[in-house]
Amino acid sequence: MAKDWDLIITGGRVFTPSGLVEADVAVAGGRIADIGKLDAAKADEVFDAKGLTVLPGVIDTQVHFREPGLEHKEDLESGTRAAVMGGVTAIFEMPNTSPATIDAAALNEKLTRAEGRAWCDHAFFMGASAENAENLGELERLPGCCGVKIFMGSSTGSLLVPDDDTLRRALRSIRRRCSVHSEDEPRLKERFELVREGGKVAQHPEWRDVETAVRSTKRLLRIAREVGRRVHVLHVTTAEEVPLLAAAKDVATMEVTPQHLTLAAPYCYEELGSLAQMNPPIREARHREALWEAIRLGIADVVGSDHAPHTLQEKQAPYPRSPSGMPGVQTLLPLLLDHLNAGKLTLERLVDLTSAGAQRIFNIAGKGRIAVGYDGDFTLVDLRAKKTIEHDWLQSKSGWSPFEGKPITGWPMATIIRGHVAMRDGELLGGPTGRPVRFMETLPQGAGA
């Protein structure tokens, strides 16, 4: 006899729009069908969540999975496998692959590569360039595209919009909120003389200094207001940018990363060397504390991992030839849970930063909350579990994490995507079942969310 539901999660505490409640959650056809005191006999599969907290599925809105072109560092299968192991149900992948994602053909190539290989749901950014600036408004609306990414400062890859004229042309074309790597390219070039002949990795935040970030963000906000467009400033690192972004909520949202909330210079470079090197850099503790204040005050809108893997061999090159970036999609949630248990943020704020915030910023359809009609995406956590980030647990092809050996309180115990249990108790289940994320701007006319 056919059952009413495909899956029921019972016995856990569920984070709903009404708050944390003891309730059961039923999923049918990939979507949440009911919440409350439910009859488990009506479901094909029963998940006993006793002792666990059921959160909306975590969405990581900034990852670099390196495919195509750089698969020796990471690929869509290994990156999404790491995501699912860390409790992440959906990812947004960046365009600085090889070739770069700058047209419809490149986007469709990524979507095809992800089919049958991605463990979690996914969408891909379209990269902005001088060549496609006028076409971005059309490209950003393609199915499977989460929006446009602009690199104002050079990082990994060749995508770059360094000048105001190209930035203005790109923003005028865009209608959705675009995501921006905000570092001032002219100043980066000027200050590269500090390290051109070699140096110590601890000089990384001196080369890519505070003024490099502040100058870029001021330019971005000025032009965004001038052309009437919305921007999302990625991986904010400086105390000086926080008040700028707080005063620009009419046009700007703000992302922070777990590594900038956890590490601080100079100690991270002394302990980790180039493994702590990323763009923008890990800075001194005063900047880290300003980012925590931005979280406390509600200025920060979302946490993204900026998962940007390189091989250990590549990272061991002498600075500044050592590449910037570190893995992070699998450790995003464990680090935040540990900070939660240390009193740095509440569970409500964690949920907002990892699911609801992403839904608001990017207009994701059917994700970001536990509510009837939404996708059956859940991240189940044990808030009291004590674990250590161990090498054997890591799934990224790069094979390392700057947080290996770090003790953690709070741990992802299961990842459920559209009612499919993809990970439970540290084991992957079934196979890759990820699908493209849907967005309200790209739905057919008359379709619902």
Q: What is d(CA 17, CA 216) in angstroms, rounded to the nearest whole number?
A: 37
Distance CA 191, CA 187 (A): 6
Helix, strand or coil for residue 146? strand
Query: β-pairing, 53-56 with 13-16?
Result: parallel
| Residue 306 annotated in active site | yes
C-alpha distance from residue 20 to each of 13, 101, 297, 351, 411 (Å): 6, 40, 22, 11, 18
- Give the contacts of 269 (CB within 8 A, at least 6 positions apart): 200, 201, 202, 204, 276, 277, 282
Residue 369: CB atoms within 10 A of its CB come to 18
Q: Which helix (H) or strand (E) holds 247?
A: none
Q: Please list, in sequence order, all residues whose beta carbon lies within 8 angstroms of the beta carbon of residue 343, skipping any fewer than 6 positions away.
A: none
For residues 238, 146, 413 and 301, what is the CA-based torsion angle, rounded to 10 degrees?
A: 30
Give the dihedral of Cα atoms 343, 379, 86, 341; nearest 10 deg: 10
Q: Which two tokens stand for residue 255?
A: 């992302």
Could you tell me if 375 and 30 are in contact, meaning their C-beta atoms sit under 8 angstroms apart? Answer: yes
**Based on the number of CB atoms within 10 Å of its own CB, is 66 exposed (0-12), middle (13-18) or buried (19 or more)?**
buried
Note whether 130 and 161 are within 8 A (CB): yes
Identify any residues that bridge with 53 across adjacent strands, giving them in sequence order: 13, 381
Kind of pairing between the strands at 121-127 and 145-151? parallel
Distance CA 370, CA 373 (A): 9
| The one-letter amino acid at 6 | D
Is residue 194 helix, strand or coil? helix
Residue type, 227: V
- Antiparallel, parallel or unpaired: β 420-424 and 407-417: antiparallel
* Marked catalytic residue, from 6, 24, 306, 377: 306
Enumerate the active-site residues.
306
